[in-house]
Structure 1
Amino acid sequence: MSESIKQLDISIMGREFRVACPTDEEATLLQAVQLLDTRMHEIRAAGKVIGIEKIAIMTALNMTHEFLSTKVEGGFDIGRIQRKIDHMNSTIDAVLQEQTELF
């Protein structure tokens, strides 16, 4: 069953973008746009970073750091778990690559 894709016009820091999004993920994407726009405005308002590209990079760095250091109830470190999953995926990909070379 194929998902329907919708084109959305979004605004981040006053700049307009058109993005494709599965219809059932529209609400989540709009939340992400709002969060990103808010964080970028906060960094610009602090006055320490000038230029839209630098603001975007600093925002991405800050949000990525928050993501990697987030812990959920029960003490699960999401960032650590994600890094383990990434490492396992790399290991699996390497093993599968060796297998395809056998044939």
Structure 2
Amino acid sequence: MSEIKQLDVTIMGREFRIACPPEEELALMEAVAFLDRKMREIRDSGNVMGIDKIAIMAALNISHEFMNTRVTGGLDVADFKRRIGRMQETIDEAFKEQQQLF
């Protein structure tokens, strides 16, 4: 069982501490950056006021994008990204073993 790290992240200028397995840290940081960017876009549009409403609108927009991605041809892009990430880790490990031979 892997250990859980506590990461401090910032979204829209607010600090949050999030628990995360070490192997998922990069994906989490990408998700934080994506959410922060979406929330700032909504705030900067000037149509939505208040951090709570901005967060809800961002969640709805992201959920809508996710649902459309899954429906299109039954393709789950997030699942493909996870699989590709695992394959990349396997390849990296294989290269490490090969480099030790030389």
- TM exceeds 0.5? yes
Task: Find the structure with the greater CA-based Rg.
Answer: 1
**Which residue pairs with 2:62 in the alignment?**
63
- Code of the aligned partner of 2:40: H
How many corresponding residue pairs? 76
| Residue 76 of structure 1 pairs with residue 74 of structure 2 | yes
Query: Paired residue for 1:10?
Result: 9
In structure 1, stretches of 5+ residues that fail to align are 79-103
RMSD: 1.7
Structure 1 contact 8–18 (Cα < 8 Å) conserved: yes
Distance in 1, Cα, partners of 2:42 & 2:10: 17
Q: Hey, which bits of structure 1, 4+ residues long, moved more than 2 A?
A: 75-78
Greater strand proportion: 1
Judge conservation of contact 1:36–1:59 (CA < 8 Å) in 2: yes
**Structure 2, unpaired ranges of 5+:** 77-102
Aligned-partner residue type, residue 17 of structure 2: R
TM-score, L = length of structure 1: 0.69
Q: Give me the whole-angstrom Cα distance separating, in 2, the residues matched to 1:20 and 1:50.
A: 29
- Counterpart amino acid of residue 15 in structure 2: E
